[in-house]
Structure 1
C-alpha cells in the first residue's frame, strides 16, 4: 500500500512539474513590439522626374526600345516623385561605386533609425540581448551587426545574427527568428534592423528584365524593438499572434525567377523573370494553407468546409452561386499589410485574396511615397495605417511578404492599444491617399525619338 502511495505521489509531482514547465514555456512564447522607426532621407536625395530623367539619359547602353520600355515601366510602376535614391547614383557614380559608398548608405539608414528608436523607447543599447540585421546584397567584414555594436558599445554577450541574401521578405524572417529565441531567454530585448544596399547594385546595362529593379527599388529601412517581458505589455503597441514561413527553393522555376546575376556585358543587376508571378501565387497559396487555420475563427472555417462540400456535390451549381465558397479573411483580420513590391504585386495579392481599395490603399501609398524599400517596406505600410488612425485596440493585422528564393513569409499581429502616431508619414499624411493623375515622367519624356536618342548618346 505504501508503495502505491509513493508511486501515486511521484506521478502527481511529475505531472505538476510537467504542467508548470508547459505553462512556463507558453509564457515565454510571447513576442511584443515596443516601437519601430522607419528611415527618411534629405530632400537632396529625392528621385523626382528631373533626377530620374538625368539618370536614365546617363546610361549610354540604352537604345530607343529600352528608353520606351523604361518610360512605360516608370509610368505604370505606381511610384511618386518623393522616393529616395542612393547618394552615389544621385551624384552620377553608379557605374563605379566604392565600399565607402555602400557603408555610408547603410550607416545612414541603420544609425538614424536606431538613434530614434532608443530615444523614443527609453531602452538603452546596453540593455539589448539580441540583435538581428538583415541586408540581402551586402555582407562586409566586420559584419553589419559588429558595426552596430561598435557604434552603441553594446554588451559583449549580446546574441547577434547577420542575415544576407534573404530578399524582400527578410524582415519577417528576422522577427520569426527573434520569436524562437525568446523561448530561450527570459525578459529579453531584441533589435531587428531591416534594410537593403541599393547604391552598389544599380544596374547600368540594357536588359529589360534587369532594368525593372532600377524603376522599383529605393533607399529605406526600419529598426524594431521587441521583447518577451510580459511586464511591458501595456507599453507595447503590437503582439505577434502567429507566423508562417514558406520556401520554394527546391522548385527550379521559383528559385530562378528573382536572382542577382550579370548580363552578357558583365553588368550586375537583379533579374526578374516571367515565372515570378507564378512562383508568388504558389508560395502564397502554400503559406495560407498553414496560416489560415491559425488566424480565422472556427465559425468561418466551418462555413467554408460546408459550402465547399456542397459545391462539390451539386455539380450543376452556377459560378455566381458559389461565390460564398471562398474564405472570408475579414472574419478574423481587420487590416492587410502587403509588401509594396510593385503595383502588379499589390494588385495581384489583392485580387487573389478578394481585397478592396481600402485594404490595398496603405501598400499602394507606401509604394508611391517611398518605393520598394525591400525588407523595410512592410513597416512603411504599417506606418501609413497608424498615421491614418486605423489601428484600434484588439484589431488583427495580416502582414504578407514575398521575396527571392522564392519565399513567402506571413504573420499576424494584434494591436494592443489605439495607435495614432504620424511617425515617418509626419508632414505628408494629409496629402494621402493621392488621386490618379497624369504621370509627370510621361509629360516630360514622352517626346523621345530616334533623333533625340542620337543627341543624348552624343552628349
Structure 2
C-alpha cells in the first residue's frame, strides 16, 4: 500500500531574533570568563544563522515587561528562571504553535473534512503538560473526540521520523486512515548564560517552530499528494551516547552537544545509509549520489559540512538545509520538515513529476541516533505568505469554513 503526505505546513512565533544582536547580549553578560566571552562570539558568528524565531518575546530589546523572566533590557542581564517557569510558558505558547501548524496543514487539504482525521501524532522534546498538545489540537480544531492520539516526547531532533513512520504504519493497517502529524518545539525556553561550551552552542543554534503534515493512503490520495513515503530506517552508532544528550535541570533543559558529534557522523553516516537504501531495489543498484534531493536536518553548520563532505554531495543539494538553518536556526524535531517543505516548494526537476524525484532525508539525535527516510516528490507545493497563517489564527478562522478558499489561498509558511 502506498502512503502519501497530502500537505506539509509550518509555523513560527512572531518574535524574530537577529543573530548578531543576540550574540552581543550573550557576550556582554557579567558572569562570563574571558574564554566564555570568546566562545560566545565564535559560536554565534560561526553558526551560519542570520535569524531565528522565539516564543519568548522579551528576548528582544524592543519588548518591555513589568516582571521580566528571561531578559531585562534595562540592565541588559539575561535571567535564569526555574524549570517550572519555563515549562509553564511552554504549555501556553507551544499550544499556539501546535494548533497553528495543524490548522494550516488541514486548510491545505480542502477535500478532507475535520472528521476525516482518524489519528493524531504530536511531537516535542522541549516541555511537558497533560492533558497535552494532542488533546489541545483535538479540542481547538474540533476534531472527533474519538481520534486516536499519540504523543512522542523527549526524543530530540530526529523525532519527526518516528512520527511519520507511525503515520505510515497506521495507514497501512487501516486504508481509511488519515493521520495528522504535528511537531512543535520551543527550544529558546531553555537558553541561559554560561561558560559551558555546550550551553553556549545551544544558545547560538536553537530556535522555535512547528510543522504539520497530513498523511493518508486513501483511494485517490495521489491526485493531490505532495510526497510519497517510501522507506524508513533507524541506526544507533556504536559510539556517541555521551556526545549528544538532553537532560532536565533545575533551570531548564540542559543540552549536551559535544564537539565530537560531527566526527561521529563523518565516521558512520555511510553505514547508516546502507540499510535504508537496501530497502529500495532501484536505489540499491545506484550510488547514493544519484538521489537528486537531500533533506538533511541542520543540527549545525559543522554537521552539514561533514555530511556534505563525507557523502560527496553538491552545494546545490545542501541549499535547502543551509537556507533553513540560516533563516530559522535549529528547531529540533520540526526542522527537517521545514527542509522537506523547502524542497517541495522548488520547481520540479526532470523526472520529479513521473516519480523520479527521490528525496533522501536524515536527522541526528541523542544516542547517537541516525534516522533516515526515503521519499518521492510528486509535485511542487504552493508557497504563500506566513502572515496569512497568523491572520487566520488571530481572526479565529475555522477549518470548517475552508471550502470558501482555494488551495492556493491556504496559508503556508
**Residue 93 of structure 2, aligned match among 97, 102, 105:** 105
Aligned residues: 364
Secondary structure of the residue aligned to 1:196 is: strand
Question: Residue 138 of structure 2: which of 140, 149, 162 is its match?
Answer: 149
Number of the residue aligned with 2:335: 377
Counterpart pick for 1:214 among 203, 208, 211: 203
Consecutive unaligned residues in structure 2, runs of 5 or more: 71-79, 389-413
Question: What do the CA deviations read for 1:294-329 (whole angstroms, capped 9, x no partner)?
Answer: 34637x73xxxxxxxxxxxxxxxxxxxxxxxxx721
Q: SS of the residue aligned with 2:382?
A: coil
Deviation string, structure 1 residues 199-246 (Cα, Å, up to 9, x no partner): 432233321122101100111120100001132211111111111112
Q: Which one is further off, 127-136 or 100-109?
A: 100-109
- Say which of 27, 39, 55 aligns to 1:86: 55
Q: Describe the SS at the equivalent of 1:402.
A: strand
Choose which of 299, 306, 313 in structure 2 pairs with 1:355. Answer: 313
- Relative distance call for 1:230 and 1:58 in structure 2 (3 A) is farther
Report deviation, 1:350: 0.9
Secondary structure, counterpart of 2:96 in structure 1:
helix
1:116 matched to 2:104? The reply is: yes
Superposition TM-score, scaled by structure 1 size: 0.73
Matches within 5 A, 1:7-406: 27=1, 30-42=2-14, 45-49=15-19, 51-53=21-23, 55-56=25-26, 59-80=29-50, 82-87=51-56, 90=59, 93-94=69-70, 95-96=80-81, 97-122=85-110, 123-248=112-237, 253-261=239-247, 268-281=253-266, 284-295=269-280, 297=282, 301=285, 328-331=287-290, 333-390=291-348, 392-393=352-353, 394=355, 395-406=357-368
Supply the distance in 1 between the matched residues of 2:109 and 2:299 (Cα, whole angstroms). Answer: 29
RMSD: 2.5
Judge conservation of contact 2:160–2:337 (CA < 8 Å) in 1: no
Runs of 4+ in 1 over 4 A off after TM superposition: 265-268, 423-427
Distance in 1 (CA, whole Å) between partners of 2:142 and 2:120 is: 13
Gaps of 5+ in 1: 1-26, 302-326, 428-459
Which stretch shows the higher mean deviation, 52-61 or 239-248?
52-61
Partners of 2:18 and 2:194 in 1: CA distance: 22
* Alpha-carbon distance change, 46 to 106 in structure 1, aligned in 2, over 3 angstroms: same
Shift of 1:280: 3.0
In proportion to residue count, which structure has more strand? 2
**Shift of the alpha carbon at 1:348?**
0.6
Looking at CA atoms only, which structure, 1 or 2, has the larger radius of gyration?
1
Greater share of helix: 1
> Contact between 2:13 and 2:55, CA under 8 Å: does it hold in 1?
no
Q: What displacement does 1:48 show?
A: 1.2
